[in-house]
Structure 1
Amino acid sequence: MPIFLAVYTMKREDLARFRAMPKAEQDAVDAKGLPLWSAWEEKNAAHLRKLGGMVGKTTRATKNGVGPGVNDFCGYVIVEAETAEAAAALFVDHPHVTVFPGDGVDVMPFLTGPDGIKSSA
């Protein structure tokens, strides 16, 4: 079965708005969202090949050197599904977009690798 990289995205202005909220409000979002995230993982365990994680600020390397980078990526997970559409459908009700200030989840097929990830096919 095909394996996909699913990248959680969040617009910088949405993250800034979330971080500007009082800590109690942020904690309330976490208290609601984190159990739902765990429930999503349990519900979709058969499709999850590697849970990945959340990521911080980007450092970019180019032919001109190393410096700060900018993108909307904030985390990833590796999933297995019949098609890209089926993989993406796993995230329609994900708390990243329904509770947290996430923008979406981009799903891309692996054309090579990933090393260490075994398909159930």
Structure 2
Amino acid sequence: MTMKPMEVTPVPRFLAVYTMKPEALASFRSLPKAEQDAVDAAGIPQWSAWEEHNAACILDRGGMVGKTTRVTKDGVQKAENQFCGYLVVEAETADAAARLFRDHPHFNVFPGDGVDIMPFLT
């Protein structure tokens, strides 16, 4: 009797994009340096703790991103959007992926406004 190999269904992957309104970033950057440093001192350990707690679900820690350059058929130009960082997680569903980010320091400590969760389709 020949045994069939068991099929392994991969766990779905999701792109998590940190968003922040440009005016919120500008407002944060206009604070005195000591106030910015105080937010960082409170938020960075919380962010690290969040990553440690969810390490089993994080496939790519991604990173924070800077100013946008957009390329179109008309050329290259500066652009503005709300994307400020990303990471890749795996979870059974989009809702499960979203639940990972409840109470995230990105919007509870830092001036971020949300995290957009999008499934990889291929």
- Give TM-score scaled by structure 1 length: 0.91
Aligned match of 1:80 in 74, 80, 90?
A: 90
How far residue 19 of structure 1 moved from its aligned partner, in angstroms, is 0.3
**Superposed CA offset, 1:55-109 (max 9, x none):** 0000000010000111100000000001011101111111001000001000000
1:16-55 map, 5 Å = 16-55=26-65
- Give TM-score scaled by structure 2 length: 0.91
Distance 1:105 1:94 in 2: 9
Gaps of 5+ in 2: 1-10
Would you say how many aligned residue pairs link Structure 1 and Structure 2? 112
Runs of 4+ in structure 1 off by over 6 angstroms are none
Aligned match of 1:5 in 9, 15, 39?
A: 15
Tell me what 1:118 maps to.
none
Aligned match of 2:115 in 105, 114, 117?
A: 105
- Give the share of equivalent positions with the same residue, in percent: 72
Question: What one-letter code is carried by the residue in structure 2 that aligns with 1:27?
Answer: D
Distance 2:40 2:119 in 1: 30
Q: CA RMSD in A?
A: 0.5
- Match of 1:108, SS state, is strand
Larger radius of gyration: 2
